[in-house]
Amino acid sequence: MSPETAPGCEPGSILVLADSLSFYGPVGGLAAHDPQIWPNRVGAALGRHVELHARIGWTSRDIWWAVTQDPRLWSDLSTADVVVLAYGGMDSLPSPLPTALREQIRYVRPASLRERVRGAYGWLQPRLSSLGWPMALPPAVTVGYYEKVRASLAHLRPELPIVVALPPTHASPYYGYAHPGRVPTSAAIERWAHEHDLAVVDFFPITSVDFTDAPETMNPDGIHWGLRTHAAIAELVAPAVAAQLPGGASEVERSG
């Protein structure tokens, strides 16, 4: 019996695993319960509670670590009716300094040296980004982590449906307005998703149009989105999520 039909039983939640694009708005980060961010817009459209696990800078590797190490995520997974994998954008960004080294900048001491190192990296990054290499994570490595996440979720909840979001684009001066890694990363994720018969939505078309036609609505960093984009992404994701929920067709009708 589905949660919708079981007497006295509340429907399960939507579990979203994501990066900062899920909770940043036009002027900065918003709280996980803010109704304006796209995951909560999806939840409101479908009458479902949303559990958002996300952090700025998260790649597919960080998501894997969260899945294996965060007991709050394990708890939320036990009551989820569907999981949305909405990350991969960070994986596809150019990273002139190998990720393992770049992530160590925060640990450099003393603070004055750390700031000089960070400043040097900030100067080099946009100038070398057009090379497109190295990337934060190569497509094959990204897909490897996606599969680890999928296999782990399937081991714990084999019946749990998954919706996969393909990475968006950016228009950021911090990356020299370059994003050559998006196409190979997106293609690899999409192939992997189809191999496992997972539902797919693509964040690229909406973000490409909004960064081009309405840049004034977006975050000035050229990476994060405005509320108009959050609304459009929610309209894209909601029907795909609804189709995976118990009672699929009726959920799709209600989301419309």
pLDDT for 65-84, tens place per residue? 999 999 999 999 999 999 99
pLDDT for 4-39, tens place per residue? 333 334 589 999 999 999 999 999 999 999 999 999
Please, where are the H alpha helices in the chain? 38-46, 60-69, 71-78, 99-102, 111-128, 139-156, 182-195, 204-213, 227-242, 248-255
Residue 120: what pLDDT?
A: 82
Residues β-bridged to residue 85: 17, 164
Residue 118: what pLDDT?
A: 85
89-97: average pLDDT: 86
The tokens for 95 are 């990273």
Q: Look at residue 133 and tell me whether its pLDDT is greater than 90.
A: no
pLDDT for 139-168, tens place per residue? 999 999 999 999 999 999 999 999 999 999
Q: Look at residue 59 and tell me whether its pLDDT is greater than 80.
A: yes
Is the bond preceding residue 180 a cis peptide, omega within 30 degrees? no
